Amino acid sequence: MTPAVYDAALQIRKKLLSAASAILELLEKDLVYSEGTISDGTNTKKITIQEVIDKMNVREIVAAGARNENPKGYMINSFGAQFAEVEVDTETGRVTVLKIVAAHDIGRVINRKLLENQFHGGIMQGLSYALLEERIMDEYTGKVLTTNLHSYKMPTVMDYPEIEVITVGESDNMISAVGAKGIGEPAIIPTAGAIANAIFNATGLRMKSLPITPDKILNEIYKL
């Protein structure tokens, strides 16, 4: 979304510069925009954005921005690695995720707080996919039996592990004008694999179906 927002913002700026050019009686190419003020570069003639809008006498300024297509001849991918630390109770089969570390190449960081929120949300979706969410269907009727949050389990705040976010890489302007990559889905994808590998490291049990529920853990233990 950010490349489209950036494109729309550039169009709005051009409209404001055009209006300021008429107000200040200067060529548009000679105007400089900085921190909400348009000037001739020497501050001999200047005007604020608010003043330009007031003199334009309009209720709104509209622009439609778009994200350009990916560059031809280049592959645009996200890259990342995630690590999980778990505890497995071999008497009950319960798996507790203690910590997830996520390191991803996400290009330019535009808003660190929002970026970390995306990581946390994606990781918790991956954890839920790995350990809890299970769609059970009646094999005779095809009816879904897990139709509510009592039978279709999802994580709560009590299941939240420690999450460490590591950002790798720099702005990649081949991707877009803002040089940022998405992180919502990439944060989800490696989580289940990391948790399954951590369970294997802890118990020697290679779990091959999701979700990894306590009954599956106990069935594998009793096979040994």
Query: Which active-site residues does the annotation give?
Result: 185
Phi (first) and psi of residue 134, to 5 degrees? -140, 120
172 and 181 Cβ atoms separated by less than 8 Å:
yes
Taking the C-alpha atoms of residue 199 and residue 95, their distance in angstroms, rounded to an integer, is 8
Helices (H), 25-111: 49-56
DSSP label of 69 = P
In the sheet with 32-34, reading across from the earlier edge strand, the strands are 32-34, 37-39, 46-48
In terms of residues, how long is the chain?
224
DSSP characters over 98-159: EEEEEEEE-BS-S-HHHHHHHHHHHHHHHHHHHHT----B-TTT--BS--STTTS----GGG
The residue to which tokens 């350990």 are assigned: 131
Structure tokens at 207: 């779990």
> CB-based contacts of 224: which residues, under 8 Å, 6+ apart?
none
Cβ count near 3 (within 10 Å):
17
